[in-house]
Each structure stands twice: as structure tokens, then as C-alpha cells.
Amino acid sequence: MRRVVITGIGTVNALAQDVPGTFAALAAGRCGIGALTFRDADRLSVRIGAEVRDWAPDLPAARMPLYDRVTQYALVAGAEAMAMAGLDLGLGPRGGVILGTAAGGISTWEDSYRAVFAEGKSRVSPLVVPRLMHNAPASHLSMAYGLQGPVFSVSSACASANHAMGLALQQIRAGVADVMLTGGSEAMLCFGGVKAWEGLRVLAPDACRPFSLGRKGMVIGDGAGVLVFEAEDHARARGAKILAEVAGFGMTADAGDIVAPDPDGAARAMLAALADARMAAGDVSYINAHGTGTLANDRSEAAAIRQVFGTTPPPVSSTKAMHGHAIGATGALEAVACLLALTQGVLPPTIGHQADDPDCPLDVVPNLARQARVGAVLSNAFAFGGLNAVLAFRSA
Amino acid sequence: MTVQVDMRAEIEAAVIEILAAQLLLPPYEIAPDARVDDLGLDSLGKVEAIFALEERFGITIPFNANEPDLPDFDFASVPGIVAGVARLIDQR
């Protein structure tokens, strides 16, 4: 079976619009959450989020009418990843793209509905369909780089990006492609996106405090993470710099409740990722948690981690307190955080920590980043619908 | 101004009707002093019931699923919900 490595990464998120800025912010424990600024935000009861600020992407003006923000974020993150990987055009059918998104071009839906329902207009832009479709970010990346192999989108709510990366890994292992651009993109911070989440009563009004006593829920974020997954033989043959190995992937379903998490499903996904990576639990030196900051997730995830790792699990942090919960892109932002740990030996902290929660007995790297020797990491994603997707990465 | 006695009766009837709809029970099976946990209402049923109360009375109920013990609004029993809704109608 071909080994798969990472040769490039790129990101746009509330902390920064590139990898160096994001690494610096994660290491500094900076928070990207602030007051929401989009249209009609004053009509929401929850008014904070991790928005991408001062967005002025360097994309061709003539193409912009085709690009919802979800596509813009993916294109900018993808360009950074491709440049880092040093890949030029010409992969053709041996290259592909699999990206996760939960809401796709939700702002395009919103703007169009507003036009016809609220403003009484009789027509919408002719480009609405190609803008809003979930596969738009993946397709535009394929066009930008001439990737003609497996290209599609994956949607599994908060696990979308991890499922996408797991499938990308499998394409290369199966010999279908040599290089896959993968990760996720999300642009849900618009009036309708937040209004929908408000109804579930799980959003925090003030801050995201994963695993901490006094946590009040999740905070939504926007952004994209795009990673270049490449067959190790292909990367070595062209002399590419290898950042880390994509060692394994595990996915399970709770087949239980549509929103309430089940620790057993999460634990089985972690065990499946370890088995796929031929890794023992003791090899793992850091876990990037799903860690949404809700009562239910954090309690369930802590139980699942202790089910897999026993009473002395490795350090666990949730970087969502910094970049927000980017829903279908969040796994990709968290993969970038894992690369900070793997390439620089920096464990990003769980900021906003106030006091240990006895229901979450974990070392959550509270508030301050930590230096550590990192050989292997897990990255968890658990979605509404009871879907669990866990990736295992190993240092190069 | 405080909510009148007949208004409280109306609120109580609405709370019972809304809980009954979520629980797929006839309203007469929900006692006026029933506790919500004893009724077996799950978390989604709870947020749907809160939404229905907000729509019925034009109020905003300060309920966050991450703070179930929030003292601002007692969702533990029918009398607690009735009192909370009455207070929010007063403040409307």
C-alpha cells in the first residue's frame, strides 16, 4: 500500500489568511472571535463569531461573480498549498480534489431568497446555481490546477473536512491518483446561517471555552484549509519537502441520536484510525479534539478519549476557541494546527479555559501553548447525525 | 403590571398543550405540577417546546442548552415554565 504524505498546506481563517500567520496566532493563543459584522447581525441573539476580516482576495475580477465566499476561501487556501508543495500544472487525471463543506454557498441562497421574497424582485443572478452548489470550491480548484481525476465534495456537517481528507487518503492508497488537494471550506457566517444555529440553543453568547467549567457552547467560524496529499513515492521522486505523513483514517456512525453524541462511536473512530495507521495509543503525543465547547460534546469526547487512552491520555486541545467552529471546514483548520505540532513541536492551547471540569478529566493545554516532542497526533471530528471521522498523522 | 389570573390559566393550558404535542400525549395526561424530566422530553423536544412558547406569546426565552440549570428560566416543571413565561410577558 502506498504511503501518503503532506507536501503543502494553505488556510484562510479568522486568525490569518495564510499558514505563517495562522501558526503564529495558534502558538500565541490569539482569539479570532469578535462581533459579527454582516448584514442584519443586529437581529440575532448571538452576535459573535470568528469571521474572516478585511477580505480582499487576489482573484481574477472577471471570475468573482462565479465565486461565493466558500469558493473564494478554498481558492486562496489552495493557492498557498500548491505553492508550498511546489507543484506545477500537468497532473491531469493523476490529480484530484475532495473538499468538505456543510453549507456550501449559503450566502448565495440567502441573497437570492432575500431578492425574490423580501425585496419582491422577479429574478435572481443567472449564476446562482454554479455559485451555491456544494462542489463549486472543489471544481474551481480542479480548473485552476488542471486536476482531472477524482473531484467532488463531501458533506457530513462538522465532520465534512475529515471525511474529505480520509477519502483523499484512500484515493491515493488505491492508486487512483498521485496527488489530492483536500480539506474543507465554509462560509456560514451570514444572517440565515447563524439564525439557524441559534434555534438549537447551543451557541455561546460570549466566548468558546472547550472542556472548561462555565462553558456556554460553540462559536461559529469561517474559513478554509487545503492540504496537498501526495503519494510518498511521487513526492520523493520530485524531491518535494515532506511535512508529515497521513498515517490513518477511521470513520464510524453512532446510529443513535441525530444530535446527542455517543462516546462509543467516537472511541471506535479513534481506534479505527489508530489501527489503520498501525499505531498504538501510546504512540500518540497530541490530540486535536473536536472540542466544540458544548456541554454534551466535551463530556462525551473526554469519555471517549479515556476509553481509548486510559487514565493518562496525551495532551488534548481544542483550537476552536481561537479559529471558531468552521463546521464543514473545521477539520481542515485543525489539520493545519496538527501540522504546527508535527513540524514545530508546538502544542496549540485551548484558550478561554477558566477552571477544570471534573467531567472532562484531560490535560487540555490550558491557555498557553506548550513545546513538546511530537511523533504522532490524532485529529477528531464528530458531526450531528452521529458521524465520527478521525485522522492520524505522523511526523515526517 | 402583573399577569392576571386568567392569563396564568391560559399560559398553563398553552404550556401543557405544547409539551403534549412534543410528547405525542393527550394534554390531560400532563398534570399541572408535572416535572419535565419525568415526562421524558428529550433535548430536541425541549428546544422545540421553547420555540413554540416564544411564537405563541411573542417572547424570547433565555435558554441555552449548555446551561440547563440557568436560574433565569426554570424549565424543570410546568409551574416553573408558567411562571417564567408570565414574567417574560410582563417584561414584553
At A314-323, the pLDDT tens digits run 999 999 999 9
User: Could you tell me if A297 and A187 lie in one domain?
Assistant: no
Task: Clarify whether residues A226 and A327 are in a common domain.
Answer: no
Q: What pLDDT does residue B2 have?
A: 61
Measured distance CA(B7)–CA(A4) in Å, rounded:
67
Taking residues A365-369, report their average pLDDT.
98
User: Is A144 found in the same domain as A122?
Assistant: yes
State the pLDDT at residue B62.
87
pLDDT tens figures, A176-209: 999 999 999 999 999 999 999 999 999 999 999 9
Strands (E), chain B: none
- State the average pLDDT over residues A159-174: 98
Residue bearing the bigger pLDDT, B44 or A155:
A155
**Mean pLDDT score, A62-70:** 97
Which positions in chain B touch A199 (Cβ < 8 Å)?
A: 47, 51
Closest CA–CA distance from residue A218 to any residue of chain B (Å): 9
The sign of the CA dihedral A300, A301, A306, A308 is positive
Nearest-CA distance B48 → chain A (Å): 9
Percentage of the residues of chain A whose pLDDT score is greater than 90: 99
The answer to whether residue B73 scores a pLDDT higher than 90 is no
Residue among B44, B47, B66 minimizing CB distance to A215: B66
For residue B72, the model assigns a pLDDT of 76
Decide if A217 and B65 are in contact by the 8 Å CB cutoff. yes
Spell out the residues 6+ positions from residue A124 whose beta carbon is closer than 8 angstroms to its own: A112, A115, A116
Q: What local confidence, expressed as pLDDT, does residue B63 receive? A: 86
If asked whether residues A232 and A257 sit together in one domain, one would say: no
Record: contact B47-A201, CB cut-off 8 A: yes
Q: Which amino acid is at A267?
A: A
Contacts of B65 in chain A (CB under 8 A): 200-202, 217, 294-296
What does the pLDDT read at residue B3? Answer: 63
Examine residue A243 and state whether it is found in any structural domain, yes or no. no
In a domain, A242, yes or no: no
Distance of alpha carbon B83 from alpha carbon B46, whole angstroms: 17
- Which DSSP helix (H) or strand (E) runs through A129? helix A128-132
Residues 6+ apart with CB under 8 A from A206: A48, A216
**Residues of A tagged active-site:** 158, 290, 325
Residue A97 has pLDDT above 90, yes or no: yes
Mean of the pLDDT values across residues A156-173?
98
Among partner residues B43, B47, B64, which is closest to A216 by beta-carbon distance? B64
For the cut 90, the answer to whether the pLDDT of residue A311 exceeds it is yes
In the structure grid, which three cell numbers stand for residue A291, read together? Answer: 472540542
Convert the pLDDT of each residue in A253-298 to its tens digit: 999 999 999 999 999 999 999 999 999 999 999 999 999 999 999 9
The answer on A191 and A254 residing in a single domain is no
Residue A108 has pLDDT above 70, yes or no: yes
Please say which residue of A212, A237, A262 terminates a domain.
A237
Question: What average pLDDT score do residues A339-355 get?
Answer: 98
Q: How many CB atoms lie within 10 A of CB B28?
A: 8
CATH, residue A26: 3.40.47.10
How many domains does chain A contain in total?
A: 2
For residues A368 and A373, give the distance between their C-alpha atoms in angstroms, rounded to a whole number. Answer: 16
* Ranges A96-100, A137-141, B42-46, B49-53: which has the least confidence: B42-46
Do A279 and A384 lie in one domain? The reply is yes
Q: What radius of gyration do chain A's Cα atoms show?
A: 20
pLDDT at B1 over 70: no
Contact B65 A199 (CB under 8 A): no
Listed by number, the residues of chain A in 9-68 with a beta carbon closer than 8 Å to a beta carbon of chain B are 45
- Which domain, by its residues, includes A341? 249-395
pLDDT for residue B71: 67
Strand pairing class (A4-13; A244-253): antiparallel
Domain boundaries, chain B: 5-91
* Boundary of a domain, candidates A237, A271, A287: A237
Q: Are residues A34 and A82 in the same domain?
A: yes
| Residue range A7-43, pLDDT digits in tens | 999 999 999 999 999 999 999 999 999 999 999 999 9
Interface test with A, best of B43, B47, B54, B66 (most A CBs within 10 A): B66
The answer to whether residue A256 is domain-embedded is: yes
Q: For the segment B6-35, what is each residue's pLDDT rounded down to a tens digit?
A: 789 999 999 999 999 999 999 999 999 999
Query: In chain B, what are the helix, strand and coil shares in percent, each to the nearest 5?
Result: 60, 0, 40
The answer for B 27-86 residues in CB contact with A (under 8 A) is 42-44, 47, 50-51, 60, 63-68
What is chain A's mean pLDDT, rounded? 97
A259 touches chain B (CB under 8 A): yes
Place A89 in a pLDDT band, splitting at 50, 70 and 90: confident
Please say whether the beta carbons of A244 and A5 come within 8 A: yes
- Shared domain check, A325 and A199: no
Domain final residue pick, A180, A204, A237: A237
Determine the pLDDT at residue A315.
Answer: 98
Let me know if domain B5-91 sits in CATH 3.40.640.10: no
Say if residue A54 is in the same domain as residue A26: yes
